[in-house]
Structure 1
């Protein structure tokens, strides 16, 4: 065995050794078993905050419902107030009290939740649905920071710790790249260039490092397991109350901190669903633009032909649809029965089978239209090949393909397809003409912005003009910059294609839930 082969085999052996060691480490550092305590309604002498209880109740894997539980805990302590004016809990509102505006000494995650509520209820009150974020990335960042603050508090209380000791984690990380070092040396000795050798060496380390990163997290301490058992007993006591799961948020005035702990432990299904600090419902957003809070329903025209198209693009699509219609029509009119040969014992008719002839005409017309539309790619060829396969395997003298090929004149399906593509061509031409009109001007607040896959594809922008409870998203060109969720903008738009021609910033967006924004609103 040559030295190069020894290096490759040595690297492979190190990978196996690392995986075996990693498996033992996973088993050794897994969380212990939580032994539920007896059902109890007692919190204890020094109870953990509901946010920390959420971490314990989720077996140190996450802090689901921690923000909602913290909000309810703040309400139980008189810093905020939750009101339900009618029978619908979803219409409840949140108010920041005078004690909440002057509160001090709160934990970082409590202050974060209070600042979010203060920012949304800057005018005195806000619907509970307005607490949710409109921007997905902002919601994810806010919740990630909240999680880190809760974990820091749990570690400070001796309830949680890193899964891996610092020395063990460093050893696993270094060991993950050791096989790659041997592979790199072997590749260089084998005559490969440095770039290829580094690629060979980094690949196994990247995979093993990814496995290590996915396993990082928190692990219980003995004290944490004991406290988790106590809170499991409280969960059992709360679960025994049949109506507790359907309590609305405003019932915190009756149940006090029990509602907060029940939410942290996943017992209150209704309250947990209504008090969301995530990205919210993309089809129903609360807006205060115009002076009063109201829910705005949103429609996304994903299947609308010509949505966001420019004049040149609409003309191109009209040409493509027209080409398909003309191609299908010409093939249907010019097709003759003698284009197909009769199959007998001496001739297989492989290139003139009825199914293959028909498929070639139909698929060829569509392919020509895709070329004109600029949508032709290697995947298009694959789909076209698969589309012709059913007709290619039909070689008999009887059957649907044979009867269709022998039919005089266009088939009913061909007439329908010609009509559809012809109508599309006219539709795109009409849109192109409407695009030449002078654009309209509208002003409002940006409720949501969503990206669409693919470069050069328009994005969705949802604008609230303040005069309707139902709005349809506009097409914002992918190259547009400087517009953010929450900003007030003046748009020049084309209603035919719902395209934004230009955008002018009227008022910049305030960062959702930031502490700076909350302090400015309070002052």
Structure 2
């Protein structure tokens, strides 16, 4: 390597390394401090469970924040959690006829409450039906909740930005210095390399944009003096809750007995069972709750992957069938006459050759029959189209077409799972991707479909789902066949231990 090039590389890389070293030091200096727990205590403070979750996890919010808020709202009477049987997964949420005053609710508490109310049917909702059915919506909802919790903690003086304005300004300023050094090193290289063009200027701009973007990205929250004191007290509450062996195994319905302790237990990570039942993230697409018909029930959904006909259009199916007939017919005329039921007995090699040839003939016949079957079933599929009306359970991309190295794949087929109320099991339909944005989970749709290929050929939305209605809107009762509803009664969880304040 030329000595001048080595010098230029050393200077440029040294500037980048110096900035990254400064960035690493600042991250280490501003990391949240470790907090020593205060003595175990049953005394709850004024901080809401979601903020407590932030404090006890070293200023990092976990998924338990939303679940703890849900349990706390139940303890405060905004809804009731019931467990009709021995399985906590069967727990249901029941909205009261006269809810408490909502004036004091924080934004993230209202966000969780609106989620419950938006999904409830006649004031009832299975607890496990709170999960989302769209990954983007789940991510956006949880991001919004996190931002509101962090804002609340900052307003109370319990948290602050890890990189404040001064630190950010320092990083951006040094990023500019590093970019200038890289640009000058590249310019020095260009001075003796006549074909270098404008890359010194481009290199400096690229380095500045990259480093300043990294400097502006928030690495999270950090502690304050008041925050450390408050976190120590809540760690003492966690120690008190973990000191009771049965508390970890309490179901969500135990909130009726334990009151706000269960919500705070979820916030500090002391409720294994309740936290396992509650989930406000992305749900399971193979087992989805449906309210079609007026009552809630689980529907098992199958998503075909290996069926070549699944979701295919008529031209594609006819082309595939015709190809199978043409290839199979041609090969049969070539290898068909060589088929024999009496393999050669001359020697072992001749016998193996006859067996292989017969296998090729059988395979050719199968290709031919498969092509004929595809052609016939496609034509039958055309004349047996039917209409399906039901509730959208799940919409998800299945097939995509690659458009090039630097271009994202373009989806052309989606899964569309719909509950028409006829059974507790269904198979997803193949939906052309250009129609996928028309409907969302919970919507009422009418489809015209082809049963054999499972392809949707017409889609119309007849009603929007509860999750898409504006806050405070009362959704109409779902249209569909009536189904018998089951009663549910309150569960009696183990009584709380005797506490000494």
TM tier, smaller: 0.7 to 0.9
The aligned residue for residue 231 of structure 1 is 234
Change (3 A) 1:103 1:331: same
Is the contact made by 1:446 and 1:488 (CA closer than 8 Å) also made in structure 2? yes
**C-alpha distance after superposition, 1:93-115 (max 9, x if no partner):** 11222453642121111111111
Report the secondary structure of 2:136's partner residue.
Answer: helix
- 1:444 paired with 2:390, answer yes
Question: In the alignment, what sits opposite 2:413?
Answer: 458
Shift of 1:497: 0.8
Alpha-carbon distance in 2 for matches of 1:471, 1:518: 32
Say if 2:336 and 2:361, in contact at 8 Å, map to a contact too: no
Instruction: Report Cα offsets for 1:160-186 as digits up to 9, x if no partner.
Output: 111112121233245446544555573
Shift of 1:212: 4.6
Match of 2:460 in 1: 504
Q: Structure 1 residues 414-423 or 29-38, which shifts more? A: 414-423
Q: 1:327 to 1:404 in 2, by over 3 A?
A: farther
The Cα shift of 1:520 comes to 4.9
User: Is 2:121–2:291's contact at 8 Å kept on the other side of the alignment?
Assistant: no
Number of the residue aligned with 1:52: 51
Q: Tell me the alpha carbon deviations over residues 383-439 of structure 1, each in whole angstroms, 9 at most, x when there is no partner.
A: xxxxxxxxxxxxxxxxxxx96997345267656754664554344333432343252
1:216 aligns with 2:171: no
Q: Pick from 262, 267, 273 the counterpart of residue 264 of structure 1.
A: 267
Q: Which residue of 1 aligns with 2:37?
A: 36
Q: Secondary structure at the match of 2:147?
A: helix
Counterpart of 2:345? none
Map of 1:491 onto structure 2: 447
Does the CA-based 8 Å contact 1:475-1:500 persist in structure 2? Answer: yes
Change (3 A) 1:426 1:264: farther
Q: 1:260 to 1:413 in 2, by over 3 A?
A: farther
| Aligned-partner Cα distance in 1 for 2:175–2:329 | 62
* Unmatched runs of 5 consecutive residues or more in structure 1: 336-401
Are the aligned partners of 1:449 and 1:484 in contact in 2 as well (CA < 8 Å)?
A: yes
C-alpha deviation, 1:281, in angstroms: 1.7
CA distance in 2, matches of 1:302, 1:130: 26
> Would the alpha carbon gap of residues 55 and 423 (structure 1) be closer, same or farther in structure 2, given more than 3 Å must change?
farther
Structure 1-normalised TM-score? 0.76
For 2:251 and 2:233, locate their aligned partners in 1 and report how far apart those are by CA, in whole Å: 25
1:149 Cα deviation after fit = 0.8
Please name the residue that 2:61 is paired with.
62
Per-residue displacement from partner, 1:129-186 (whole Å, max 9, x unpaired)? 2222222221211111111111111112222111112121233245446544555573
Superposed, which structure 2 residues align to 1:83-482 within 5 Å? 83-100=82-99, 102-121=101-120, 123-176=122-175, 178-180=177-179, 183=182, 186=186, 191-192=195-196, 200-201=203-204, 203-205=206-208, 208=211, 212=215, 216-319=219-322, 321=324, 407-408=353-354, 410=356, 414=360, 418=364, 421-422=367-368, 424-437=370-383, 439-454=385-400, 455-480=410-435, 481-482=437-438
Instruction: Find the aligned partners of 2:243 and 2:368 in 1 and give their Cα distance.
Output: 66
The answer to whether the 8 Å contact 2:40/2:238 transfers is: yes
- Counterpart Cα distance in 1 of 2:358 and 2:243: 66
Distance change (3 Å), C-alpha of 1:217 and 1:406: same
Q: Report the more deviating stretch, 155-164 or 54-63.
A: 54-63
Deviation of the 1:191 alpha carbon: 4.4
Could you say if the C-alpha distance between residues 51 and 99 of structure 1 is closer, same or farther in structure 2, counting changes exceeding 3 Å? farther
TM-score relative to the length of structure 2: 0.79
Q: What is residue 383 of structure 1 aligned with on the other side? A: none
Following superposition, the deviation at residue 27 of structure 1 comes to 1.4
The answer as to whether partners of 2:92 and 2:126 remain within 8 angstroms in 1 is yes
Which secondary structure state, in structure 2, belongs to the residue aligned with residue 458 of structure 1? strand
Q: Is the 8 Å Cα contact of residues 77 and 100 (structure 2) preserved in structure 1?
A: no
Aligned partner of residue 451 in structure 1, secondary structure: strand
Name the counterpart of 1:11: 12
- What is the CA-CA distance between 1:204 and the residue it aligns to? 4.1
- 8 A Cα contact 1:314 1:431, kept in partner: no
Question: Residue in 2 aligned with 1:376?
Answer: none
Task: Report the counterpart of residue 342 of structure 2 in structure 1.
Answer: none
In the alignment, is the contact (CA less than 8 A) between 1:11 and 1:178 conserved in 2? no
Contact 1:8 1:182 in 2 (8 A): no
Q: CA deviation at 1:61?
A: 2.1
The 2-side partners of 1:208 and 1:325 are apart by 61
Structure 1 residues 415, 295: closer, same or farther in 2, change over 3 A?
A: same
Count of residues in correspondence between the two structures: 451
Structure 2 CA distance for aligned equivalents of residues 244 and 331 of structure 1: 76
- Paired residue secondary structure (1:457): strand
SS in 2 for 1:518: coil
**Structure-1 residue corresponding to 2:26:** 25
| More displaced 10-residue stretch of structure 1: 171-180 or 259-268 | 171-180
SS of match in other structure, 2:353: coil
Coordinate RMSD, CA, aligned: 3.4
SS at match of 1:504: strand
**Which structure 1 residue ranges, 4+ long, deviate > 6 Å from structure 2?**
1-7, 326-335, 402-406
